[in-house]
Structure 1
Amino acid sequence: MSSILPQKVNTFGQDLLRRYGQRVHKIAIHAGFTCPNRDGSKGRGGCTFCNNVSFGPGLREDPDVAGQIEIGRRVIAKRTKAQLFFAYFQTYTNTYASVAELDRLYRGALAVPGVVGLSVGTRPDCVSAEVLDLLCGYRDEGYEVWLELGLQSAFDKTLERVNRGHGFADYEHTAQAARARGLPLCTHLIIGLPGEGGAESLISLDRVVALGVDGLKLHPLHVVRGTQLANEWRRGEYQPLGFEEYLQIAADMVERTPPEVSFHRLTATAQGDLLLAPDWCGRKWRVIDGIAAELQRRDTQQGSRYRPQR
């Protein structure tokens, strides 16, 4: 991590370090879920940019959640010697099952020694009141539980363009329900979606912040093999953001984010054999260091341009 970054951005890793007094790592899990945008409930083929292998390289589809965590623990132990972990249900829609099945999977993760909480990644249209109550139940038992909602954009036109299968109203409903229960909420936003520039990304951020959010993940849209977006890119119908353009937009968004909101991610990468464009998406630390350097150049930091709505 850039030595500048913790001075400029409230990162989730630093937040956990302050609160737990030691490193806490996420271990990504593939629990065998699918998505209503793939199985025909809402659509087929999924989002135009989606190949989940690219978002979770190395993940195994294995019903033994505890086994996946143990493999992740061994890998992390070699790097940082961390002893505390979040079980991160990452791949596809991780609330898309019966409450009983969800409870079985989540409790299987929480039973592993050293696991202090859950991060559950899902779509805003797949979170029922019963699911929220289930997650709050773990919180009430003393675990830290985060709901991660993949919104990507606050513009319905864009969501339709990339075949998301939900609108901003779905996000608004679920975000408000989670906030009403006091459940920590992390929202995913993609920068560089088709038809969007920096102005749209800032508006999406402002709409999310206005509803209330505890964490954010920023992703540059990258083109990976096996997706509709890849076909559009080959036909010249989509042009990815340039490196400097992404740094500028990401820095703008950090400046407009309340200081207390933690950034769980500032960029995203894809496996080299899957990534088609832009090539800079394969160099995570170059992007992170670039954002930190841009904030340093501006002499600003997270929250510098945040203005609460009245």
Structure 2
Amino acid sequence: MALPDYINTFGQDLLRRYGERVHKLAINAGFTCPNRDGSKGRGGCTFCNNASFNPNAKQPHTVAEQIEAGRRVLLKRTGARRYIAYFQAYTNTYADVEYLAELYGKALEEPDVVGLSVGTRPDCVPDEVLDLLSGLQAKGHEVWLELGLQSASDTALERVNRGHGFAEYKNAVRAAHLRGLPVCTHLILGLPGEGRKEALSSLDKVLNLSVEGLKLHPLHVVKGTLLANQWRRNEYLPLSSEEYISIAADLIERTPRSVVYHRVTGTASKDILLTPEWCSKKWAILNGIESELWQRGTCQGSRLANGSGLSLEKTG
């Protein structure tokens, strides 16, 4: 068995709809963040060292150059010949709409790029940006708005210096849906002060807004962050791999099968990762989630009373 037998994954969803493998291709367009430049705050989130996750953050290559480099790697690694340009680093709607239109347009000029996935903050999606994305979707492009919520608890968001609350997220989702734009919501498991109960609460609040996609990430401590200092002072204790796998499985079981999981874990490179060590082992966690669901005899949506889960017959 494989993870897609238990979870409605983004890769399998694209394969069904396009008839071939379509892969996300990450792009760093050199954006900053309003929580770092003083617009909303300074220093960013307590866990954020985004530049460390994006080696070209200071001097990124052009969009075309990044796509060419990415397609060479992905073609060799996965065999994919069509791509979604994933604007990933920092806040990818944080600019004038004219500049954004030019930037997104450069990605879509590539003949093998079928669409965009735009990562941003819930407080950085004004109407004109949503109209731009909606217009690109109307031209036949695949378009996803990825909103970094992390938690539906305002207390937790304040604790990590997020700079926005759940209200901004709710407004952004509703505005996107008015334009027919699908939303993928990012949730972080293991934020300071949060455990299983809080993760389930965040999931419920997000699903109540009928989002189309989800991403789950474990909170990991990396160099150069306030969270690293808190961890060194024993003020923060990360989840164990067993805890993460168990909580992730709980969320998956409670997610309707119509929702697409773009990701169920996240990693950090060993050169910047401080703790937990298991966050450098992507496949161990993916296999662990698959094994956990198999042992439970469950799958995505199994614990929903309305029968909207994946067929258990498909999971053996």
TM-score, normalised to structure 1, is 0.96
Aligned to 1:30: 28
State how far apart, in whole Å, the 2-side matches of 1:59 and 1:110 are: 22
State how far apart, in whole Å, the 2-side matches of 1:173 and 1:61 are: 34
How much has 1:67 moved relative to structure 2?
0.9
State how far apart, in whole Å, the 1-side matches of 2:110 and 2:55 are: 22
Moved more, 44-53 or 142-151: 44-53
Please state if 1:7 is matched with 2:9. no
Aligned to 1:265: 263
2:145 maps to which of 144, 147, 163: 147
Aligned to 1:138: 136
* Number of residue pairs the alignment of both structures matches: 306
Instruction: Check conservation: 1:214, 1:262, Cα contact below 8 A.
Output: yes
Instruction: Check conservation: 2:44, 2:162, Cα contact below 8 A.
Output: yes
State how far apart, in whole Å, the 1-side matches of 2:61 and 2:131 are: 24
How much has 1:181 moved relative to structure 2?
1.2
Aligned to 2:233: 235
Aligned pair in 2 of structure 1 residues 60, 77: CA closer, same or farther (>3 Å)? farther
Give runs of ≥4 in structure 1 deviating > 3 Å: 53-61
State how far apart, in whole Å, the 1-side matches of 2:269 and 2:37 are: 25
Percent identity between matched residues is 66
Aligned pair in 2 of structure 1 residues 4, 78: CA closer, same or farther (>3 Å)? closer
How much has 1:63 moved relative to structure 2?
5.3
State how far apart, in whole Å, the 2-side matches of 1:307 and 1:215 are: 20
State how far apart, in whole Å, the 2-side matches of 1:57 and 1:149 are: 23
Aligned to 1:179: 177
State how far apart, in whole Å, the 2-side matches of 1:278 and 1:288 are: 16
Unmatched 5+ stretches in structure 2: 307-316
How much has 1:59 moved relative to structure 2?
6.6
Instruction: Check conservation: 2:28, 2:56, Cα contact below 8 A.
Output: no
Instruction: Check conservation: 1:215, 1:264, Cα contact below 8 A.
Output: yes
- Residues 57-96 of structure 1: pairs in structure 2 closer than 5 A: 61-62=59-60, 64-96=62-94
How much has 1:104 moved relative to structure 2?
0.7
Instruction: Check conservation: 1:54, 1:270, Cα contact below 8 A.
Output: no
Please state if 1:276 is matched with 2:247. no
How much has 1:60 moved relative to structure 2?
7.4
State how far apart, in whole Å, the 1-side matches of 2:57 and 2:24 are: 13
Instruction: Check conservation: 2:30, 2:58, Cα contact below 8 A.
Output: no
Please state if 1:305 is matched with 2:303. yes
**AA paired with 1:189?**
L
Unmatched 5+ stretches in structure 1: none
**AA paired with 1:185?**
V
How much has 1:81 moved relative to structure 2?
2.2
**AA paired with 1:114?**
D
Aligned to 2:312: none
The two structures, once aligned, show a CA RMSD in angstroms of: 1.2
TM-score, normalised to structure 2, is 0.95
Q: Per-residue CA shift, 1:86-118, capped at 9, x if unaligned?
A: 000000000000000000100000001200000
How much has 1:55 moved relative to structure 2?
4.0
**AA paired with 1:265?**
R
